[in-house]
Every structure is written in structure tokens, then in C-alpha cells.
Amino acid sequence: MSPNPIIENIPLLTTGSVIIDTLRLDQIHPIISGNKWYKLKYYLSEAISLNATTLASFGGPYSNHLVALAYAASLKGLKSIGYVRANKDEPVTHTLQEAISYGMQLEFLGRQHFQAAKIELLNTASKTQNQNVYLVDEGGYGAIGAKGAADILNTSIPYYDYIICAVGTGTMVAGIINAKKNRQTIIGIPVLKNEGSIEIEIRNLLIDNNASFTLLHEFHQGGYAKTTNIQIDFMNHLWDTCKIPTDIVYTGKVFFAVNELLKQKYFKRNSSVLVIHSGGLQGNRSLKNGVLKF
């Protein structure tokens, strides 16, 4: 585990007037990739302090979060349960097989009623006195997850005018907003289509509920886990020129967004931009072999 991920310049995106760098969180661990380690670390600490024996959470069939949680739990000697947004009769994806290999027990909640079932389990967990199973919300969402995400901007990170990242549950961007320096602009790229509640969900995790940030909703590529040929071509070009691997769900969208924003002259002249590479390539497993070059 590398607690100080490297920062790389992106020559493909850097212009004469705007510097574009990326924080390579994807390199801190081969399995607990990127922001997952940050979002999970304080949940793990609390679970251990409560003498929990099992760590449980929620995710889809290509969930980076479930794989990371399964592996992190095994490192700490804990059992793990993954509540999956899929039907029991569906083929078990390579991602879920990987989670199983780290000791995770899978429970399939189906697709149609997944959110309702998740809320019921979370509500039940909050009321019960049984601390054997420690339940983490999907994607690590919550104040504890945001506390961990705030550590992404540690003291070794230099000042940038803009910090931009993908937004799923909103936990990572909330932590970054909480940790940002004065005059920094935080930009989130939501990966879900028509995500009307995401700003509220982010603000619920902020230390200062009135803190400013920007969400740009036009780069979702059709919705969660959706992609386009244009995005795929850009991801391959980014790999060819910079050897930066991205995924179709999160990081591919945020790097694509930065490229489009540069074309629009969105960033102020003589400014610096830090793109958070949040890691996790599990979503790419849904593609046919050969679509991506990496």
C-alpha cells in the first residue's frame, strides 16, 4: 500500500495556458484500488473497535467496492457479505467471482427492488444491538467514508486551482470538498443520468453545508455503466499516449470531461487542474475482449 500516490502530468491534455495533472490513486494497491482504500479505512477501524466479525455492503455485478471490501476484510481477519444488485439466476461475473475468492458470501437482492431492500437492511442494522455484522452503505457512502476521502488531499498534495473527480454516491467528492484549500474550485462529474438528488446527498456529508462546488451533468455518456464509441476511442487514445488505464463507469468519463472542457476553454488561463484517478477497472469486464487496448 502506497500512502502517497504519485502525481503525473498529462501531456495529452496540458495546453500552453492550463496545466493538467492526475493523482494516480489507482496505483496505491492492486486490489483495494484508488478511492476505495480511503473510503473504507475508517469503516474498517470502527468495525474492529466494535468487535464485529463480518463486514457487509452493497453493489452491482461489476462493483469495485465489493471486491475492495472483500479483500480488505480478509486482510483484517473479518468475514464479508456482499448484497448484490442482480438476480440469483444470472451468471456470476468475473468481478463477483473475484470477491468470492477473497471469502465474500454473496446475497442476491434482485434488480427491481434492490434500493428498497438496501434501505430496509440499513434501517434494521441501525436499530439492532447485534454488532457482529458491520454494514457499510453502497460505495462507502456516509460521513465515515467522506472522512476517509478527505485524506486524499493530504499535506503532500500541492495547490491546484481546480480539482475534478467522478461522482457516484458522492462520498469521495464530499471528502474532497471538506478538505479543499481556500479558493480551490471542486468539480464533480456525475456518472448517473438524471441524478437529481446527488447534490443533496453530497451536502449531507459536508462539514460546511454551504460549501461551494460544481456538478457538471452532461458527461454521463448515457447513464451509469453506459458508454459510447467516442468515450472508448478517447480511453484508448489516453492509453496510447499516456499509458493511463481508465474504466467506462467512472474515470473514463472524468478524463473525457476534462478533454471536452479544455475545448470549451472552461478553465481560466494560467490555471492548474488536478484530475483524481479514483482507480477501479471492474466495469471494463462488461466489455468484449479487444474493445479496450489495455
List, in order of start, the domains of the chain with CATH numbers: 7-31+143-286 (3.40.50.1100), 35-140 (3.40.50.1100)
pLDDT at 2: 56
Sign of CA dihedral 209, 197, 38, 213: negative
Contacts of 230 (CB under 8 A, 6+ apart): 256
- Give the CA count within 13 Å in the CB-facing half-sphere of 84: 28
* 166/79 Cα distance (integer angstroms): 30
* 243/202 Cα distance (integer angstroms): 32
Whether 202 and 169 have beta carbons less than 8 Å apart is answered as no
Indicate the pairing of strand 133-135 with strand 54-59. parallel
Contacts of 72 (CB under 8 A, 6+ apart): 32, 36, 37, 40, 44, 55
What is the three-class DSSP state of 190?
A: strand
pLDDT at 211: 97
**β-pair partners for 185:** 162
Most distant CA pair in the chain: distance in Å? 59
pLDDT per residue, tens digit, the chain (294 aa), is 556 789 999 999 998 899 999 999 999 999 998 999 999 999 999 999 999 999 999 999 999 999 999 999 999 999 999 999 999 999 999 999 999 999 999 999 999 999 999 999 999 887 765 679 999 999 999 999 999 999 999 878 999 999 999 999 999 999 999 999 999 999 999 999 877 899 999 999 999 999 999 999 999 998 888 999 999 999 999 999 999 999 999 999 999 999 999 999 999 999 999 999 999 999 999 999 999 999
pLDDT at 130: 66
pLDDT at 241: 97
Alpha-helical segments (H) within 33-110: 35-49, 64-75, 94-101
pTM of the model: 0.94
pLDDT at 126: 77
